[in-house]
Structure 1
Amino acid sequence: MTPNAASASSAPSRRSFLASTAVAATAVAGGMPLLTACVGSDSGSREGTTSGKAADKLLPTYVASTVAKPDLPSKNGSAAGYTGKVDLSALSTSVPDKLGTGAALKVMSPFWGSPPKPGCAYYTALDAVAGTKITWQNQNGNTYGEKLGAVLASSSIPDMVVVPNWELVGKISNAVTAKFMDLGPYLAGDKVKKYPNLAAIPSDAWRMGIFGGALRGIPMPSATANFIVPYYRKDIFDKKGYSVPKSADEFLSWAKEATSAKAKVYACGDMSWVSASIFGVRPSGTLGWNIGADGKLTYRIEQPEYLEALEWTRKLFDAGVVHPDDKARSGDAGQRFTAGQILVFNNDISHWYGKTAEQAQSNPDFEIDGMDIFGADGGDPTPYASQPATIWSMIRKGASKTTVENALAAANFSAAPYGTKERMLVDYGVEGTHYTVKDGVPVKTDQGNIEVINAWVMLAAPAAYYAHPDFPDIARKQVEWQQRMGAFMKKTSTYGMNIVEPTRYANLSSQFEQLEIDYVRGNKKLSDVQAAISTWKSSGGDKLRDWYKQLLDKNGSGN
């Protein structure tokens, strides 16, 4: 029951894309995952990972939800899809008893857009039904890491904190283990059955919530075929008679034909986010490590394809087919796309629905579609699986039993499955206040667009799905695209492992994001990138490789 608030800004920052997708992010509300390596109890080292049988002992018992059978079941790592209307008068109840006691609960979460006012009708309604009393400490999502780092370094931590994986860098990774509590006593094994919606979260997602040898994170599950989509203006392609490119060379050739600087129409924005999947470059971060067929362990920047992807992206800039504002990294590429100033736009899969809903009234001819990712040579692509959970809510150490149980009550409510009264309330708010029903479809009011945006949905989520009652065909397209691309998906050796690297390597790869930006725009030379790779190896990359090798020797490969 995806909210149809086109104006709700929930797109993650660039860092989230670089951290959590096969290109280099999840949508914020999308939807990560085997023996104990260097990690044991809180008193031991906080580095490494916990997996296999050791992790299985920590996990909640999985009890699948039977509330609503999807029209399109998950396949090849895709989300599930619901393509019909829900009978709003016959919604099921997934939380029959109010689990919260009304005790005060402070929650800190990233927020994209303008947060609702405290005590607004949406927050009040959710608290009343869930039995909670939440004070939201919403923080700017684009600078959330700075706030999160400062809070974790302080002695005053909110009762519950949302932690995205793209912020797990430097000291924050270790602070997670030091500052958040083990939820095992409340959720491990059959204990989770007190919270049926949390029990219905897939085990792979829960496995990613293990930090420092304990279950600390309540996950927001995501599809593992969660790749950046190369969207194109299908309405303009059809009008112009363009064929969808099926290789890197075809794309460049088409881009030159489609670009008219005089008419201020350019083929595309920056293609960096999708070029990795085209050329088969592994994701950044811990997923970037993989043992090849030759038995050697390498990081993504050591792949020959890494430079090939950068060189192709640079060709697009050099050919003048990228919009000047994308080159200058100014303005909003999404707005340029809907205005027809660029014909191809890269972003997470949530924009398929978002852009469609946004343009439905003002631009009825607008039609968006997603190109199938092609291999560089026109063959099969090599997209890499993202983790089955990339965002968690965590409860501070030292919290009282009452606080913990109220936090879990809130998370259980937020994780309500599609087709329930709870999901409807979380996603749409109160009928008559936040939405009205037109032809059986909920439509948000102005107040709904202001208040019912990325807050409660950050606490937990059901297994990944897409459902857009107002645009059901978009849900079908999203799922089918993921299923097609997922058929080619590969997993790296570190897939399914929530790995905390030693802090001494925290900034080892930090230079590459800016270097890539500069190189594809012609501001750096290929030799600069090659030199940075050599420096990375000598400055700790080779030692980090040894650390990963030891970890994989103990845990086994994730693929």
Structure 2
Amino acid sequence: MPVSRRTFLGGGLAAAAVAVTGTPLLAGCASDKKNTAVANAAVKLPTYTKYGEITPDLPGTDVVLDGFLKYPANPVKAIAEAPGDGKPITFMTNIPGAIPPAMDKNQFWQQLNQRLGSELQISMASNDEYKDKFATRIAGGDLPDILNIPPDTPQIPGLVKSKCMDLTEHLSGDAISKYPFLANIPTEFWKGCVFNGAIYGVPVPRGMSRTSGVLYREDLLAAKGIKDPAPKSFQEFFDLAKEMTAAKENTWAWTRVPLSTIRMMLGMPNVWKQDGGKFTSMYEHEAQEQALEAGRKMVAAGVVNPDAFNDKASARKQWFNGGSAAFDYDSFVAWNQYYNDNTAGDAFAVNMLDVPGFDSGEGTPWMGGALNNVTAFSKSSTHSAETLLKIANWMAAPFGTEEYLFRKYGVAGRHYTLKGTDPVPTKVGTVETGIGLQYISDSTLALYWAGKPDVPKKQHAIQEKFAKRLVYDASYGLYSDTGSKKWAQLVKTMNDLESQIVQGKKPVSDWKAGVESWKAAGGDKIRTELEQAHADTAGK
């Protein structure tokens, strides 16, 4: 079903559209008959037990993330024994940054192996290349011990049934207590690891950390005399964009057309809405033409970088960091990444706007997708499930522990320097620690930035504003076989149409015909399957 940065299709729904290769990973291995809504709903999910040894400065809720103004002075050493079994463990993953130095030239990696008690052999690929590499490895049967499975991998139920360990007996209910930091991951995230009536993986949680909003360069706005911007309507939002645009100086307000934000202003569904068992897609919302007209208006006014329709996300990030754009639509994870990549010096400051209603009042932010990926273990691994789960448990030790400090920052003196109790990464640290450990497992994000307590304060404050108004994707945890095959192409077609409309190449009135085509090409069938899955699991 729908797969996007905001939407992870859990509970088997992750059997998404056929990957870049355009072919199934497992010929003849379509969703297993047992991968039904009823079978998946019957699985007893792991018992959530919050780790209580660390007290946040800014306490969160079941939605708002915990915030910390500084790293605890005496981090808790939470795991006494090395989790490994002495034999090498293989892992394949994507890497969001540059490929780091190889193990023999990487002191962080070498120290990690000592702490794990097993050599962790990691095969890495860039974000852009990973899905192709993953598909090739699966097709060739050459599986690592630990697999990072992207949410939009095709036919996940069949893939995990054929190739991966069933972890139900180790993780279901109170059995997870043997792995306290996996038990510290809230129950909701585990729904995305259930396929064929069993638990087949460990979640890498996102949710609120992946919730996106309008990030803005606080320092650039302040330089124009704009402090604490809080537009109360689309018109004020638009006026602010015009004020921050100076095309002759190669500066534009926006890195891209903020259609998602405009849709939130208009109260649209987050992918799918469910009401009384009936499902409605965002595409069908009556205010879509109004949103597209507003986006078209912004492009026509020249407040969006003219290269926005040609360049990739990496270019947008460079515009924002370099100061040629003041606004970007992205997540809390990206907010931290901007500080990591900062080239503007100490003045650099980021904040996030609240979402107003289109004409007045409050808009409705969309909750981020639950998972980054599912981590599964190969059936052909020579390691026991217990050993691999111990590794995952070690990787999930939360903020405030000694294990987290090492995992994220490395060794003091080489990979970071202490500013008070805060670990400030060195250039060597940034390069050597980027080996993808967060994709084996992770705790939920803590709001924190070393040496900058104002960052978690801002993040916590906007999350508290969002919390009660968040709109969730009603399809999460449900399975649509048609969606697993067709959703990605359907989304691409609609994205292409919206791009043409906001650029003024097609009239806004073309949207209505586009929605009818979307429905006929699979949208209506997906809706029917979601409604059936919802009915099958009602009350379960």
Common topology (TM > 0.5): yes
Counterpart in the other structure of 2:21:
none
Q: 1:499 aligns with which of 476, 479, 484?
A: 479
1:20 aligned partner, one-letter code: R
Q: 1:423 aligns with which of 370, 393, 404?
A: 404
Q: Which moved more, 1:215-224 or 1:525-534?
A: 525-534
Could you give the per-residue CA deviations for residues 108-145 of structure 1, whole angstroms, max 9, x where no partner exists? 11112222213422222112112222110112212322
Counterpart in the other structure of 2:235:
249
1:139 aligned partner, one-letter code: A
Q: How does 1:69-84 map to 2 (within 5 A)?
A: 69-75=55-61, 77-84=63-70
Q: Give the aligned length.
A: 516
Report the alpha carbon displacement of residue 424 of structure 1 after superposing the two structures with TM.
0.9
1:291 aligned partner, one-letter code: Q
Could you give the per-residue CA deviations for residues 299-352 of structure 1, whole angstroms, max 9, x where no partner exists? 221112333323222211011111222244367222222333222122221233
| Partner Cα separation in structure 2 for residue 178 and residue 396 of structure 1 | 10
Could you give the per-residue CA deviations for residues 248-276 of structure 1, whole angstroms, max 9, x where no partner exists? 11122232333222232222221234333
| Partner Cα separation in structure 1 for residue 513 and residue 248 of structure 2 | 39
For the Cα contact (< 8 Å) 1:86–1:419, is it kept in 2?
Answer: yes
| Partner Cα separation in structure 2 for residue 199 and residue 185 of structure 1 | 14
| Partner Cα separation in structure 1 for residue 372 and residue 356 of structure 2 | 26
1:436 maps to 2:417: yes
Could you give the per-residue CA deviations for residues 29-87 of structure 1, whole angstroms, max 9, x where no partner exists? xxx97999x9xxx96343657555x13x2x22333212201122223612111123320
| Partner Cα separation in structure 2 for residue 141 and residue 434 of structure 1 | 24
Counterpart in the other structure of 1:182:
166
Q: Against the structure 1 CA distance between its residues 203 and 435, is the aligned structure 2 distance closer, same or farther, given a 3 Å change threshold? A: same
1:323 maps to 2:302: no
1:453 aligned partner, one-letter code: G
Could you give the per-residue CA deviations for residues 503-544 of structure 1, whole angstroms, max 9, x where no partner exists? 453544442233333332223333443322111212222222
| Partner Cα separation in structure 1 for residue 369 and residue 318 of structure 2 | 29
| Partner Cα separation in structure 2 for residue 229 and residue 123 of structure 1 | 35
Q: Against the structure 1 CA distance between its residues 200 and 164, is the aligned structure 2 distance closer, same or farther, given a 3 Å change threshold? A: same
Q: Against the structure 1 CA distance between its residues 194 and 225, is the aligned structure 2 distance closer, same or farther, given a 3 Å change threshold? A: closer
Q: How does 1:117-516 map to 2 (within 5 A)?
A: 117-119=102-104, 120-165=106-151, 167-168=152-153, 170-172=154-156, 174-224=158-208, 226-242=210-226, 243-270=229-256, 271-283=258-270, 288-292=271-275, 296-329=278-311, 332-359=315-342, 362-400=344-382, 402-495=383-476, 497=477, 499=479, 501-502=481-482, 503-506=484-487, 507-516=489-498
Could you give the per-residue CA deviations for residues 143-189 of structure 1, whole angstroms, max 9, x where no partner exists? 32222233333322221111232x23x44564244322211132223
| Partner Cα separation in structure 1 for residue 68 and residue 280 of structure 2 | 40
Helix, strand or coil at the partner of 2:241: helix
| Partner Cα separation in structure 1 for residue 261 and residue 234 of structure 2 | 11
| Partner Cα separation in structure 2 for residue 320 and residue 73 of structure 1 | 42
| Partner Cα separation in structure 1 for residue 200 and residue 146 of structure 2 | 11
For the Cα contact (< 8 Å) 2:46–2:173, is it kept in 1?
Answer: yes
Q: Which moved more, 1:321-330 or 1:104-113?
A: 321-330
Counterpart in the other structure of 1:46:
35
| Partner Cα separation in structure 1 for residue 62 and residue 391 of structure 2 | 31
Q: Which moved more, 1:241-250 or 1:445-454?
A: 241-250
Q: Against the structure 1 CA distance between its residues 303 and 76, is the aligned structure 2 distance closer, same or farther, given a 3 Å change threshold? A: farther
| Partner Cα separation in structure 1 for residue 419 and residue 473 of structure 2 | 46
Q: Which moved more, 1:204-213 or 1:250-259?
A: 250-259
1:547 maps to 2:540: no
Q: Which moved more, 1:256-265 or 1:540-549?
A: 256-265
| Partner Cα separation in structure 2 for residue 147 and residue 46 of structure 1 | 26
Helix, strand or coil at the partner of 1:148: helix
| Partner Cα separation in structure 2 for residue 171 and residue 417 of structure 1 | 32
Helix, strand or coil at the partner of 1:143: helix
Counterpart in the other structure of 2:516:
534
For the Cα contact (< 8 Å) 1:82–1:466, is it kept in 2?
Answer: yes
Helix, strand or coil at the partner of 1:153: helix
2:410 aligned partner, one-letter code: G
| Partner Cα separation in structure 1 for residue 158 and residue 496 of structure 2 | 25
Report the alpha carbon displacement of residue 364 of structure 1 after superposing the two structures with TM.
2.8
| Partner Cα separation in structure 1 for residue 391 and residue 260 of structure 2 | 35
Report the alpha carbon displacement of residue 382 of structure 1 after superposing the two structures with TM.
1.4
Counterpart in the other structure of 1:91:
75
For the Cα contact (< 8 Å) 1:94–1:416, is it kept in 2?
Answer: yes
Could you give the per-residue CA deviations for residues 357-402 of structure 1, whole angstroms, max 9, x where no partner exists? 5448x433332221112221222111232343332211122434x2
Report the alpha carbon displacement of residue 550 of structure 1 after superposing the two structures with TM.
0.9
1:19 maps to 2:4: yes
Helix, strand or coil at the partner of 2:249: coil
Q: Against the structure 1 CA distance between its residues 268 and 60, is the aligned structure 2 distance closer, same or farther, given a 3 Å change threshold? A: same
For the Cα contact (< 8 Å) 2:193–2:203, is it kept in 1?
Answer: yes
Q: Which moved more, 1:314-323 or 1:242-251?
A: 242-251
| Partner Cα separation in structure 2 for residue 114 and residue 479 of structure 1 | 30
Helix, strand or coil at the partner of 2:405: helix
| Partner Cα separation in structure 2 for residue 233 and residue 508 of structure 1 | 34
Report the alpha carbon displacement of residue 463 of structure 1 after superposing the two structures with TM.
3.0
Q: Which moved more, 1:216-225 or 1:136-145?
A: 216-225
| Partner Cα separation in structure 1 for residue 164 and residue 495 of structure 2 | 30
| Partner Cα separation in structure 2 for residue 486 and residue 281 of structure 1 | 17
Report the alpha carbon displacement of residue 491 of structure 1 after superposing the two structures with TM.
2.8
For the Cα contact (< 8 Å) 1:79–1:465, is it kept in 2?
Answer: yes
Counterpart in the other structure of 1:104:
88
| Partner Cα separation in structure 2 for residue 136 and residue 366 of structure 1 | 34
TM-score, structure 1 length as denominator? 0.84
Q: Against the structure 1 CA distance between its residues 438 and 256, is the aligned structure 2 distance closer, same or farther, given a 3 Å change threshold? A: closer
2:351 aligned partner, one-letter code: D
| Partner Cα separation in structure 2 for residue 386 and residue 449 of structure 1 | 26
For the Cα contact (< 8 Å) 2:137–2:143, is it kept in 1?
Answer: yes
Task: Give the root-mean-square deviation of aligned CA atoms.
Answer: 3.0
| Partner Cα separation in structure 2 for residue 514 and residue 530 of structure 1 | 14
Report the alpha carbon displacement of residue 500 of structure 1 after superposing the two structures with TM.
5.3
Structure 1, unaligned stretches of length 5 or more?
A: 1-15, 26-31
Could you give the per-residue CA deviations for residues 436-474 of structure 1, whole angstroms, max 9, x where no partner exists? 223332122222111112511111112332222321220
Identity of aligned residues (%): 27
